[in-house]
Structure 1
Amino acid sequence: MALQWMILAYVVAAEAVVAVLLTLPSPKAIKSRIVSLISLVLQPSLFIIPFSAFQLLDIYWKNEHRLMCTGEICTAAERDRYEKSIYKAQRNGVLCISACLLYWCIYRICKYHKEIQSMEEVEKRYKEE
């Protein structure tokens, strides 16, 4: 199970780097090539959405079926283990949500850039006429 979370963490880190790369100011030619390259990669990387959703369902299921350790019958070690599992579930939930959110942001940035390019081409044609 740890491998899935490690993969998701690397994907989120890569998405964050791509989002920063897309939002940095750069010359128009370089920016258009970066956007076209990332647009080609966006469709195959769509797998992250169902993968994150499955992981969120797994977190929910484990949360519903987790043994509660709130009474006085729990030892300190059991209570620490219970709290640690809660914190890990919260961290993993944030990781899943951030993966989906970053994918959506990258998609929208690429789409806006393409729309701006098409509007600039239309404006250029009108100016030429």
Structure 2
Amino acid sequence: MALQWLVLTYVVAAEAALAILITLPSPKLFRNRIVSLVSLILQPTFFIVPFAGFQLLDLYWKNEHRLICTSEVCTDTERDRYEKAIYKAQRNVILSVAAILIYWCISRICKYQKDLQSLEELEKRHKSK
């Protein structure tokens, strides 16, 4: 189970780096090439959306069936273990949502950049006529 979260962590880090890379101001030629490269990468990496969605469902199911340790019968160790599990689950929810959200943002940014590029080409054609 820890391997899944490690993979998701690396994917979110890579997505964040890509998002920063394509949003930084840069020369037009460089930006267009980066956006086209990222657009090619986006389609095969779509697996992250169902993967993160499944992880969210798994976290929800575990949360619904988790034993609650809030009474006085629980020892301090059990209470600490319960609170640690809750914190890990909250962190993992944030990680899963971030993976989906950043993927969506990258795809929208790439689409807008491509639309902008096609409009600039259309404007050049109209000016030349």
TM-score bracket for this pair, using the shorter chain length = over 0.9
Quick one: percent identity of the two aligned structures? 68
Q: Figure out how many residues of one structure are paired with residues of the other and give that number.
A: 129
Q: Secondary structure at the match of 2:69?
A: coil
1:118 match: secondary structure: helix
| 3-state secondary structure, aligned to 2:70 | coil
Give deviations 1:37-77, integer Å, cap 9, x for gaps.
00000000000000000000110011011111010000000
Amino acid at match of 1:77: T
Report matched runs for 1:1-129 at 5 Å: 1-129=1-129
In the superposition, the TM-score normalised over structure 2's length comes to 0.99
Instruction: Name the CA distance, whole Å, in 2 between partners of 1:84 and 1:48.
Output: 26
Distance 2:8 2:90 in 1: 14
Distance 2:59 2:27 in 1: 43
* Consecutive aligned runs of 4 or more in structure 1 exceeding 4 Å deviation: none
Runs of 5+ unmatched residues, structure 1: none
CA-atom RMSD, angstroms?
Answer: 0.4
SS of the equivalent of 1:34 reads helix
1:93-129 per-residue CA deviation (whole Å, 9 max, x = no partner) reads 0000000000000000000000000100110011001
> Whole-Å Cα distance in 1 between the matches of residues 51 and 110 of structure 2?
22
CA distance in 1, matches of 2:115, 2:124: 14
**Structure 2 residues without counterparts, runs of 5 or longer:** none
What amino acid sits opposite 2:29 in the alignment?
A
Q: Which amino acid aligns with 1:78?
A: E
Instruction: Calculate the TM-score normalised by the size of structure 1.
Output: 0.99
For the residue of structure 2 that corresponds to 1:70, the secondary structure is: coil
